[in-house]
Structure 1
């Protein structure tokens, strides 16, 4: 389970393409007071945004992807399969980079962000630019349930403004963004690499990429 827009060549170099399986979790958690694990599995409403997803780089003669998904489901973790995980993960990065950078502008606080509609619009514009970059480079927007992100920006921003005020935003978006600043920086640089390769004008992505996390404000 990895979070990357840069592909999987490093894994292929070590074990070979046929042995690479790719996945991404719909789950989050933290350690509280040094010894208590608090976590949340992606069920219910969360699945509108993300479901644990598994796939493989090279198709094999037996259904190992379905077998793995079945193991997760038996453990109580809703799971789906995907035949194009590289596109899935690039789509994910285009979305989460915009959300994280917009959150960083407001100290990692989703409620504060929700009160600044212009910044929510900027976040949505960056998401839409990122998806346009991927299409320009020949990638799919996956999963298809993210179709709503192509709606007019003000409509998508209105939905996000509402979601940002919910517990879902804190547990599924903000908490990880605050604790994974280094990871988000890597993803941001990977996304900017795709932007450069597309030669597209992406003012919203560039604006948000210039924000440095500062949770002291």
Structure 2
């Protein structure tokens, strides 16, 4: 069911930003996309071009280079890497919008970011697409196992859900977005460490020992954050790592790492952000687990992230 078109601004012109801006604009929502540098120059020339399943579309997005070019909008989406959030928050605060939606892997900083944005207008969330970009276009896939996830905020999220449904996104609303993001960060740390150590998600999925080590590291992380008061959620992710027999979890995740989830959603982003967002995520996850996840720590070290090498670690 279509909704009355609303207006949106998207901060960040990477894969996530372009996909959400492009699909909202294609659905009839007035959409501005803030880009910078060479990305801004290229996109002003060619617009936002999205490729899915071999089909290319160019969306009617207004690409801008400064926040002053964005008029008042209904909602602003923050779609930058986790390591860019601190720099981007003043930009977000400069956009005149009723609601701010984060589509970022915030790990342990979710509540702090929400406080800085403002408790009366924030909706914490996480994107449900993965892909790659070139100078000419973004090639993406919707992640079937991971719909766009939004927190529940006394109904403030409902118009956003309607907008995203109108743009063709599957959306899940969760009660505790901060715990969801912390749980997801631990999962990405374990899966990402395995991918980086092996070189690809395919290599992880084809090697039962690597898959088993990945499952053990994520289970270890989940148990640690639970000890520190984090609710491990969503339930299906908790169950597959901590409840079902290990042999089944290894079989399941081997298949996922060989399939679209590993090849299209996890591996491209982890490999592209090894020295940026993922390195920050590794530090934040270690903070979340409080030193109580030795298997996850070992996996991160094997992937090239010993404690002393992490940004912000003591020397």
Using the size of structure 1 for normalisation, the TM-score is 0.84
Gap regions ≥5 residues in structure 2: 1-102, 305-315
Q: 1:114 to 1:29 in 2, by over 3 A?
A: closer
* Separation in structure 2 between the aligned mates of residue 11 and residue 191 of structure 1, nearest angstrom: 16
* 8 Å CA contact 1:123, 1:204 repeated in 2: no
Distance 1:100 1:89, change over 3 A: same
Q: Does 1:161 align with 2:254?
A: yes
Deviation at 1:31, TM superposition (A): 1.6
Residues 145-181 of structure 1 show CA distances to partners (whole Å, capped at 9, x for unaligned) of: 2222222323211111122222332101111111121
Structure 1 residues 1-217: aligned runs within 5 Å:
1-12=103-114, 14-32=116-134, 34-42=135-143, 46-47=144-145, 50-55=146-151, 59-60=153-154, 63-107=155-199, 109-146=200-237, 147-150=239-242, 151-181=244-274, 182-196=276-290, 200=292, 202-212=293-303
Q: How many pairs are equivalent?
A: 199
Superposed CA RMSD in Å reads: 1.8
* d(CA) in 1 for partners of 2:265, 2:111: 29
The structure that has the greater radius of gyration is 2
Post-superposition offset of 1:134? 1.9
Give me the whole-angstrom Cα distance separating, in 1, the residues matched to 2:171 and 2:118: 25
SS of 1:64 mapped into structure 2: coil
Structure 1 residue 37: deviation in Å? 1.8
Q: For 1:11 and 1:161, how far apart are their aligned partners in 2?
A: 34
Greater relative contact order (CA < 8 Å, ≥ 6 in sequence): 1
| Inter-CA distance 10–141: structure 2 relative to 1 (3 Å threshold) | closer
1:66–1:81 Cα contact (<8 Å) kept: no
Match of 2:80 in 1: none
* Partner SS for 1:18: coil
Separation in structure 1 between the aligned mates of residue 251 and residue 125 of structure 2, nearest angstrom: 31
C-alpha displacement of 1:17: 2.2
Alpha-carbon distance in structure 1 between the residues aligned to 2:113 and 2:203: 40
Normalization by structure 2: what TM-score? 0.59
Unaligned runs of 5+ in 1: none
